[in-house]
Structure 1
Amino acid sequence: MQVIGFCRFSYPAEGGFQVEHDDTGSREAYLYAPARMEERFRHFEAICLPGLKAQTDPDFTFLILVGTSLPDDYRARLEALIADFPQARIVARPPGPHRAVCQEAINAARDMAQPCLQFRHDDDDAVAVDFVDTLREAALDVSALRAKHRLVGLDWNRGYVARPDAEGICGEETVTPFWGVAQAMAVKPGVKQSIMNFGHNKILRFMPTVSFTDSLMYVRGHNDHNDSRQKKHVKPVALPRLDAAGEALFRDRFAIDADRVREVFD
């Protein structure tokens, strides 16, 4: 079964942000600001990519949606980071309606005559190294549901919330359902709706969903440029510093190397 992961990398969509802007130019200026882009690249390199590159099942496609207006130096930097990641593919689109553009990009990579497993992924989040393997297994486990329904949601709700910095990683375990990371959807052949047609915390309103809590499956990035943290009255979250055992867990489970984090964020 085809597996497609989807990541928006500073794509200047119309809608899809919790903080809005007056026009496309204002949005691009915000998204491509040097300080913000530097942080996005640091998280993408040190947190997001390692676990995806280390998947025990390498048979998947990872789409990275960017704007056609992404400056050339940023595009080159992005291409360099995925040079050793053959599953990754950059797709560039002009600004457009968020859900429609994401759906088109995903479906362009699909074999629409076949069933598909899709997962959403932010550029500062991580999944466990066996996520694709586990996703395929879960799809078999819910075969009866998939036979009856056009769409079936799959959500792994146990993981970590974490903040990387020059000293390493601060983080703690959490169980948070439908958080938008390690979240997937099984799609029947011919169905055009994609996982990006649904808000990650609202997906259970539109389809049967199955949640799994048995294993650590994600790292949810926590940083100053999270879209969800740009609104007023959002308080900082105090996270404990990982000790040696915690750093070893991150390395083994998510392929996140705390020493590399320290280098990248220094």
Structure 2
Amino acid sequence: MMRIQVLGLCRFSLLVQGDFQTTGEDLDDNRAILYDPARLERRMRWFETLCVPPLMAQTDPDFTLIVATGEDLPEPWAGRLQAVAEAVPQIRIECLPPGRHAPLCREALARHVDPTADVVAQFRMDDDDAVAIDYVAHIRADHRLAARMTHKHHPVVMNYTSGIVARLEGDDLTLHAEMAQNWGLAQTFYFPGGEVRSLMNYRHDKVWAKVPTLTLPGPVMWIRGHHDVNDSRGHLIGKNRVAADPDELPRLLERRFNLDLADLRAALTLPLDRPLPGDGPAIPPA
């Protein structure tokens, strides 16, 4: 039976040089931006309340998600990341030294690649994104569509184009449906097994120019968070909106992502200087 390893990467305020729009080459400047307490609290709330619950509810739990962060990530956020990892056995925290972005991430992925796998399926997500609860199951089931294009020298990439944008402006959280290709969300790289390969060798938005890609406009497969500390500033959001019944979107959150809109709105609109309700991370019990 073919063994497909599913391996993901999520960067949480990773202190690096290069490849981002809101940080640059100076590590001291980048540290001041990334470790600003208000920014860290915003990112952590999105991670705990939007990103993590769908991962905990995956219908296929056989996956690993590397959460890469800086080795000097301050408290209490470093402790909250560890608490999430303790609650979600698929999560592995990699505390990395400052350096160049792409090589650090490639090395972190390499440490977790299974050399015995026939296929290594890699994906990336931001800490304010989410994937549907059957995303891992789709990664395995849909490999058959990519198998004939697989080549020892390059991956095959699968894009799921249907998703939801969750937009936070002030104390208002709104949802809309969107179609998007090569945003990097629910974008799967199928690498042939037997050697260490990395999606970090490819820009998610330009990968179509380098390797074979497939597009599947099927069920809603992702959520993109949009707020005041996005790196991309959301310049692509809204260009391909899809008409949707506003009453259906909350039902989609629950059915496809294990999320409750009222709880999500309460957590994400709570003032940043007030703690979330409860004694620990805002993640549901297993």
TM, length-normalised to structure 2? 0.85
| Corresponding residue number in structure 2 for 1:248 | 251
Q: How many angstroms apart in 2 are the aligned matches of 1:162 and 1:76?
A: 26
| Corresponding residue number in structure 2 for 1:31 | 34
Letter in structure 2 aligned against 1:110: V
The number of aligned residues is 263
Shift of 1:184: 1.1
Change (3 A) 1:140 1:235: closer
Q: How many angstroms apart in 2 are the aligned matches of 1:103 and 1:171?
A: 33
Letter in structure 1 aligned against 2:132: A
Q: Which runs of 5+ in 2 are unaligned?
A: 271-286
1:111 to 114, 122, 134: 114
Shift of 1:174: 1.0
- 1:61-140 correspondence runs (5 A): 61-114=64-117, 115-140=119-144
Give CA-to-partner distance per residue, 1:178-213, whole Å, 9 cap, x none: 011111101112443311221110111211111110
1:201 to 198, 205, 220: 205
| Corresponding residue number in structure 1 for 2:47 | 44
Change (3 A) 1:19 1:262: closer
| Corresponding residue number in structure 2 for 1:179 | 183
2:16 to 13, 16, 41: 13
Q: How many angstroms apart in 2 are the aligned matches of 1:64 and 1:113?
A: 23
- Assess if the C-alpha contact under 8 Å between 1:155 and 1:182 holds in 2: yes
| Corresponding residue number in structure 2 for 1:219 | 223
- Assess if the C-alpha contact under 8 Å between 1:164 and 1:261 holds in 2: no
Tell whether 2:148 aligns with 1:153: no
Q: Secondary structure in 1 aligned to 2:53? A: helix
Shift of 1:165: 7.0
Q: Secondary structure in 1 aligned to 2:113? A: coil
Of Structure 1 and Structure 2, the greater helix share is in 1
Q: Which runs of 5+ in 1 are unaligned?
A: none
Q: How many angstroms apart in 2 are the aligned matches of 1:18 and 1:198?
A: 17
Change (3 A) 1:188 1:241: closer
Shift of 1:169: 3.8
Q: How many angstroms apart in 2 are the aligned matches of 1:253 and 1:191?
A: 34
Q: Secondary structure in 2 aligned to 1:89? A: strand
Shift of 1:45: 1.2
- Assess if the C-alpha contact under 8 Å between 2:178 and 2:238 holds in 1: no
Shift of 1:148: 6.1
Q: How many angstroms apart in 2 are the aligned matches of 1:168 and 1:58?
A: 33
Q: Secondary structure in 1 aligned to 2:167? A: strand
Shift of 1:74: 1.4
Q: Secondary structure in 2 aligned to 1:227? A: coil
Letter in structure 2 aligned against 1:187: F
Over the matched positions of the two proteins, sequence identity in percent amounts to 37
Change (3 A) 1:220 1:47: same
Q: How many angstroms apart in 2 are the aligned matches of 1:88 and 1:193?
A: 20
Q: Secondary structure in 2 aligned to 1:196? A: helix
- Assess if the C-alpha contact under 8 Å between 1:171 and 1:242 holds in 2: no
Q: Which moved more, 1:252-261 or 1:172-181?
A: 252-261
Give CA-to-partner distance per residue, 1:104-155, whole Å, 9 cap, x none: 1001001234320001111001111100001111112221112565311111
Q: Secondary structure in 1 aligned to 2:92? A: strand
Shift of 1:246: 1.9
Structure 1's consecutive aligned runs of 4 or more residues displaced over 3 angstroms after TM superposition are 164-169, 190-193, 234-245
- Assess if the C-alpha contact under 8 Å between 2:152 and 2:192 holds in 1: no
Q: Which moved more, 1:249-258 or 1:146-155?
A: 146-155
- Assess if the C-alpha contact under 8 Å between 1:3 and 1:60 holds in 2: yes
